Amino acid sequence: MYELKFDGSLCQTCPTADCLVKCQYMDLEKDEAKKQMVNIWEGKDSFVFEGCVTCYACEEYCRRGNHPFYLITEKREEKGLLTAPRAITKQWINIGEPQGKFKVGKPGERVLSFGFMPEFFKMAKGRLFQKAMPSFIFGQEFFCNVVYIHFANTSIIKKRLPMIMENFRKLGVKEVVCLHDECYGSFAHLAPAYGIEVPFKPIHYFEFLYERLKELRNDIKPLNFKVAYQRPCSSRLSPDKHRLVRDIMDLIGVRLVEREYQDENALCCGGIYAMCFGYDLANDVQRRNMDDMAKHGAEYCVFNCPACQGTLGEKVAKMGIKPIHMIELCRMAIGEA
Amino acid sequence: MTDIMHSLADIVGEDYVSSQPEEIYFYARDPGLMPPHEPDYVVVPSTVEEIQEIVRLANREKTPVVPMGAGLALTGLIIPLKGGIVIDMKRMNRILEVNEGARYAIVEGGTSQGQLSAYLEKNYPRLRHSIPDAPPTATIAANVTIHGQGRLTQQRGFNSDMVGGLEVVLPSGEVCKIGSCALSFGWFSKGPPLPDLSGLFLGWFGATGIITKLAVKLYPRKKFRDVEIFVTDRGELVPDIVYEITHTEMAEDVLIFTQPMPLMFRDNHHVSFYITGDTDEELEFKRKLIWKALDRFIKAKDGGFMGIPPAMKPTLLEMPQRSASRLADVKRGGGFEYSGPIIMVEKYPECSEKLKELASQYGLAYSGMVRVIDGGHSMMFAFAFAFNRSDPDMMENTRKALKEVSDFVLKVGGVYWKPTVEEQRMALENMDPNTRKLMKMIKENLDPNGIMNPGNWEFIS
Amino acid sequence: MKYEEIVHRCFRCGYCKLTGDYIGFNCPTYRKFRFETYSPGGRMWLIRAWLNDEIKNTERFQQILFSCATCANCVEHCVFPFSEDLVNIFIAAREEMVNNAVIPPPVRDYLKNINISGNPYKEPADQRGDWAKDSSIEIYDGHEYLFYVGCVGSYDERAKKIARTVGNLLLRAGVSIGILGEKENCDGNEVRALGEAGLFQFLAQQNIDLFKERGIKKIITLDPHAFNAFKNDYPGLGGKFEVYHYTQILTSLIPSHELPLKEYRAKVTYHDPCYLGRHNGEYNAPRKILESIPGVELIEMPHHGENAFCCGGGGGNFFTDILGGGEDSPNRIRVREALDMGARILAVACPLCARMLDDAVKAEEKEDQLEVLDVAEIVTRALS
């Protein structure tokens, strides 16, 4: 079966132990951090299992090509240590179960993946998507399943992801533009980490937007907004694409406020925390995050992930910060939204 | 035309009385599973005086009268079991008065829940009443006649507890006022401090009189309202969870549902609660208190709050919930029926297990729907099964499953809510004999000719 | 019967007879007759009973089915997945009755008149274009748009005035329109609604052939009922045209000053025609026109937009009058609602509604308080 490619010796020789030293939810010095990571690799107990809130960030912090978060997840599952209440895990596994309710537009060689987030049906329109639509797929049959690492459950991913790949293979698509960066993270990062073959080239929708906006450069009217960007957990799986946030903002004349909780220090939207760990953690993270946006004068909060927007959108709106998805922001820049 | 027909036409006008096969067919049935029985006449009166005349006529002719609201109880309570005159009350739908200061509204006996709700929203935006999740055509009077429950039941008890007074046409044809309005111009109490006579009519399904006016108590409508759903995979924990939520006294309404479809709900129990506030702070304070009260379940991984997708929120927040009616189309067949006993919350685990067992035994689509009553003193547990109206076998299996529920309810200390005639019989047989005697005395004294919705609360000596 | 497989799925929960906000009953037949049998749920249950031979095709059953105004309030508010087909089911049941030739006499007469005279008024076809006689409206000859007026606009005195007003307004704004005059045929919308599917197809085919033969690509209709037939039914029969209701054209002309307006002070409420509103989703165009007239105060009745209360003239009832008569006829209820709002003008965008509501104002004896005017007539009053 599929096994995580993890090289423990890299941890033993790691000069920084950034994976845990930089963690925003645990306070560890380098030596202790290194020790705990090695413990985890060796299958021993570690307080990290208790302290980790599943923000995915250590996947980005590790610069040596290892997969600290996947390892924590694997070991948690092996030890039967739950992150989320059983009922919540069960519910999420049920939500992702293929039920034959998928939708396929007219797929060409390049297809847009909506995952199974219906929000994209409303977003993927207008000139930005003129050439791409109606080549799309939607539904659990094409769902990347990466979310289950929040729930310390990689076995469901290992079971389902190869079947999902087979569904893509049957479509015969060559490139998949992932409108949800969880999908991109799954196809470009998680699948290779487990040796799961991906039969197409995954493309992050930021790249797609950036290229398309360049083509439509003459239609862009700079928006001149001050915005905060809500970076989702899954973005930690593809940190190389995160730089495109700034590139896109520059292109459409939007200024990112330089705030504390951005880039590597980004804070989670709190949706998963609420489900897994209760009120205090979720509330604390959301409060700090939103206060930080307000303090720096953000007029808009730009979301990459519709789920983050679902969790935080109404809350930021109540503070007078308008919630908007990155795609809608780009459409606005070309006078469409 | 018969004499009765002539007389009815004289009372309500020719246009509003019928003995034509179309009305006879329709009013012989309700949307549930009880066998039909034809009325002889259907009338649609518009005044109390007309109802008095109809009842007097019925007394003279010894013919039954069956008052009907929207006919949505599903358990056959408006099927004219012994023929006679069905009185469709819905033309009497005026909202007569809203006393904003004393927070009550006086409405006619055919006024619908939806109509009052819309009226208050438009004219008295700071007031609301306890609207049930029955379709909005359900009438307020019929709902209290069956001891219905609504959106404020967790805080305030049965909707019939929220009555501020009644005007009733007695089986004799006399009109009688019940509650403070018998003595005062104010309709603020259905009984106290006088002897509470409302019990002679509430819960009797029209077998003791016809409610022609009633006051419903109104309560503050807060500016904001939100919903949260706590999910557990262990039914045996549900009573504890409800206990903790109700202990906070922060929830407006507490509902529980368990059902296998859509798939995301399978194998879990969902305790949903509603919170309200005039400010974000108030709302958040209530939310926080309840979340914290359930923290121990989260820490033990025994339950957690589900993230409610934004698209699902409006469905959960609407009043009434349309989705409750949609259960009727689960089998693409226009029907569902439930037995909804009132029972102690501690019996939730047994009830939910029984529901699953019966659904599996009879191959039925099911939903368990619970409304917590009056701070947790009891709950209504609906054993609901969807059926296809064009599939007689499925309908028969649903009847059998519901019959088993009827037997089960008595065993676990439940009391039937809006019982079928058969359940009424079982209730009477099993209750304290002196209570039965008292009920019989009341019925026979009030309705010596046995004309009021006969077959219901009928005493076989 | 078509849709037979759906009929048993009605739960008779009653959402169908209310408005979306539950302020009141909104099914015109139920409002008039007040028996459940005259509500959409009642019809569904009775159709099933009829198909199962539990009831017969009596006069009352015919009244129950043919009084339906096909206003689509039930379609709008039914909570079940088959809601879209509710009106279709009632029409299908009518079709069965028509096929068995057991139908109410006024329905029979209407269909007979269309069959013989091409219009319900038994008027000669060569007088169909007379309404335009004293105007500059030309016979269609390669104009950009065909202006189609329909039977009511061609023959009904009140509606003829509206047809002239709309035609003149379009001309004044420089819109290139032409009419078919005596060559115009019935659009068939009411024929279809009354269950005569064969005759409808015949009429539609005749029209489609004629339009094609004349090279017509774009149509402006006076009547929302014709608009509905052309837009929704003709394409399936091979007639694909660009179809507009006249309010949709006017709404773009006012802001661009093709029709300069002066102040016209009036308190106006707008009555949505079912075949423009609920059937075709056009609620805004007429309102935008009214709002753009300086001095017009547009007020909404509680039953408006998707919750609009039908005038009672739809589904053939304008001609058969099965639903009409009495204090609680829908048109009189509607007029009382407008009066309750304190409106001085009840604006309409349909010649059938205009006539129905005009009659109701007279029946209520409120001619001194309320005037029924087509949107185009109000615009004309405000022209500078």
The string of pLDDT tens digits covering residues A290-337 is 999 999 999 999 999 999 999 999 999 999 999 999 999 999 999 997
Indicate if C42 and C124 belong to the same structural domain.
no
Q: C54 in contact with B at a CB cutoff of 8 Å?
A: yes
Query: CA of C16: which chain B residue's CA is closest?
Result: B137
Chains adjacent to A (≥3 CB pairs closer than 8 angstroms): B
CA atoms within 13 A on the CB side of B243: 11
Partner-chain contact B135 C21, CB within 8 Å:
no
Q: Residues of A with CB below 8 A from B266's CB?
A: 90, 94
> Which chain C residue has its CA at the smallest distance from B30's CA?
C12
> For residue C256, what pLDDT is reported?
80
Q: In this structure, what are the phi and psi dihedrals at residue C221, rounded to the nearest 5 degrees?
A: -105, 150
Give the closest residue to A189 by CA, choosing from A225, A144, A220.
A144
Judge if C341 and C279 occupy the same domain.
yes
Task: Determine, for residues A91 and B309 on separate chains, whether the beta-carbon distance falls below 8 Å.
Answer: no
Domain ranges of chain A: 8-79, 96-205, 216-333
Residues C86 and C190 in one domain: no
CB of B123 within 8 Å of a chain C CB? The answer is: no
Which pLDDT belongs to residue A218?
96
Q: Total structural domains in chain C?
A: 3
Query: What is the CATH code of the structural domain delimited by A216-333?
Result: 3.40.50.1860
Q: Return residues 3-62 of B near C (CB < 8 Å).
A: 15-16, 18, 20-23, 25-27, 29, 31, 42, 44
B200 Cβ contact list (under 8 Å, min separation 6): B178, B208, B209, B442, B446
Give the C-alpha separation, A337 to A92, whole Å.
33
Q: B297 in contact with A at a CB cutoff of 8 Å?
A: yes
Per-residue pLDDT, averaged over A237-266, amounts to 97
Q: Which of C251, C271, C301 is the last residue of a domain?
A: C251
What is the number of CB-based contacts under 8 A between chain B and chain C? 108
Residue in A with minimal Cα distance to B305: A275
| DSSP-derived secondary structure for A122-139 | HHS-SGGGTTTTT-EEES
Which 3 state secondary structure label does DSSP give B41?
A: strand
Residue B300 has pLDDT above 80, yes or no: yes
If you count them, how many residues does chain B have?
461
Query: Among A44-53, B34-43, C246-255, whose mean pLDDT is lowest?
Result: C246-255
Best interface-test mutation with A: which of B230, B258, B264 has the largest number of A CBs within 10 A? B264
pLDDT of residue B425: 96
Of B280, B304, B309, the CB nearest to A310: B309
C1 domain residue, yes or no: no
pLDDT in single tens digits along all 384 residues of chain C: 999 999 999 999 999 999 999 999 999 999 999 999 999 999 999 999 999 999 999 999 999 999 999 999 999 999 999 999 999 999 999 999 999 999 999 999 999 999 999 999 999 999 999 999 989 999 999 999 999 999 999 999 999 999 999 999 999 999 999 999 999 999 999 999 999 999 999 999 999 999 999 999 999 999 999 999 999 999 999 999 999 999 999 998 988 888 899 999 999 999 999 999 999 999 999 999 999 999 999 999 999 999 999 999 999 999 999 999 999 999 999 999 999 999 999 999 999 999 999 999 999 999 999 999 999 999 999 997
Contact (CB<8Å) B72/C35: no
Asked whether residue C243 is assigned to any structural domain, the reply reads yes
| CATH number (domain holding residue C153) | 3.40.50
pLDDT at res. C378: 98
Give the 3-state secondary structure of residue C329.
coil
**Cβ pair B303:A85 closer than 8 A:** yes
The structure tokens 């293979």 sit at A169
pLDDT surpasses 60 at B299: yes
What the block records as the tokens of A146 is 């990466």
Output the pLDDT for position B460: 63
CATH-assigned architecture of domain A96-205? 3-Layer(aba) Sandwich (3.40)
Rg (CA), chain C: 20
Of C22, C60, C80, nearest to B20 by CB-CB distance is C60
Amino acid at C7: V
Judge contact between C19 and C277, C-beta under 8 A: no
Domain assignment present for C342 = yes
Name chain A contacts of B303, Cβ cutoff 8 Å.
Answer: 85, 87
Residue C213 is assigned to a structural domain of this protein: yes
Question: Cβ of B295 under 8 Å from any chain A Cβ?
Answer: yes
Q: Is the Cβ of C37 closer than 8 Å to some Cβ of chain B?
A: yes
**Interface pTM, i.e. ipTM:** 0.97
Are C265 and C338 members of one domain? yes
- Closest B-chain CA to C44: B26
Query: Cα separation of B164 and B97, whole Å?
Result: 13
Per-residue pLDDT for B2 more than 90?
A: no
CATH fold match for the domains A96-205 and A216-333? yes
Facing residue for B135 by CB, picked from C10, C15, C36: C15
Question: Do C76 and C134 share a domain, yes or no?
Answer: no
Residue B291 clears pLDDT 60, i.e. is over it: yes
Report how far apart the first and last C-alpha atoms of chain C are (Å, whole number).
56
Which residue among B266, B280, B301 places its CB closest to the CB of A86? B301
Q: Which domains does chain B have, with CATH numbers?
A: 3-90 (3.30.43.10), 91-220 (3.30.465.10), 224-411 (3.40.462.10)
Q: Are the beta carbons of B243 and B296 closer than 8 angstroms?
A: no
Is A100 touching B (CB cutoff 8 A)? Answer: no
Kindly state whether residue C111 falls inside one of the protein's structural domains. no
Whether residue C239 sits in one domain with residue C264? no
Which of B27, B91, B118 is nearest residue C34 as measured by Cβ atoms?
A: B91
Listed residues C251, C282, C306: the one ending a domain: C251
Q: Are B166 and B201 in contact (CB under 8 A)?
A: yes
pLDDT score recorded for residue C257: 81
Exposed e or buried b for every residue in B358-384, given b needs 16+ CB within 10 A?
A: bbeebebbbbbbbbbbbbbebbbbbbb
Cα–Cα distance between A239 and B13 in angstroms, integer? 79
Q: What's the pLDDT score for residue A245?
A: 98
Range of the domain at C355: 259-382
- What is the total residue count of chain A? 337
CB contact under 8 A, B22 and C46: yes
- pLDDT of amino acid C384: 79
Q: Measuring CA to CA, how many Å separate A150 from each of A2, A25, A56, A157, A233?
A: 19, 15, 8, 12, 10
**Residues of C with CB below 8 A from B23's CB?**
35-37
Distance to chain B for C18, nearest Cα, Å: 8
Which residue in chain A is spatially nearest to B229 when comparing CA positions? Answer: A275
Share of chain B above pLDDT 90, in %: 98
Residue C110 lies in a domain: no
- The verdict on C365 and C280 lying in the same domain is yes
Task: Name which of A86, A151, A273, A312 to mutate to probe chain B: the one with the most chain B Cβ atoms within 10 A of its Cβ.
Answer: A86
How many inter-chain contacts (A to B, CB under 8 Å) are there?
73
Helix (H, G, I), strand (E, B) or coil at C282: coil
* C138's tokens: 């030309």
Query: Does residue C341 sit at the B interface (CB-CB below 8 Å)?
Result: no
Asked if C15 lies within 8 A of B335 by C-beta distance, the reply is: no
Tell if the CB–CB gap between B310 and A310 is shorter than 8 Å: yes
Whether residue B461 has pLDDT greater than 80 = no
* Domain assignment present for C2: no
Peptide bond into B320 cis (omega under 30): yes
Closest by CA position to C264, among listed C297, C217, C306? C297
Q: Mean pLDDT score of chain A, rounded to an integer?
A: 96
Question: What pLDDT does C255 receive?
Answer: 80
Average pLDDT in the A6-31 region? 96
Q: Which residues of C touch B12 (CB under 8 A)?
A: none
Tens digits of residue pLDDT in B54-89: 999 999 999 999 999 999 999 999 999 999 999 999
Contact B135 C13 (CB under 8 A): yes
DSSP H helical segments within chain A, as ranges? Answer: 8-12, 18-21, 30-41, 48-51, 57-61, 68-79, 86-95, 119-123, 155-171, 181-185, 191-193, 205-215, 239-251, 271-277, 279-295, 306-318, 326-333
| Partner-chain contact B22 C37, CB within 8 Å | yes
Last residue of a domain, one of C219, C251, C283: C251
Task: Look up residue A110 and give its two tokens.
Answer: 């390049």
Give contacts of B334 with chain C, Cβ < 8 Å.
Answer: 8-11
pTM: 0.95
Chain B touched by A279 (CB under 8 Å): yes
| C97 and C207 assigned to the same domain | no
Q: Could you tell me if C186 and C114 are in contact, meaning their C-beta atoms sit under 8 angstroms apart?
A: yes
Residue C35 contacts B, CB cutoff 8 Å: yes
Q: How far is CA C258 from CA B82, B166, C175, in A?
A: 71, 63, 9
Residue B139 sits at the chain C interface (C-beta within 8 Å): no
CB contact under 8 A, C18 and B114: yes
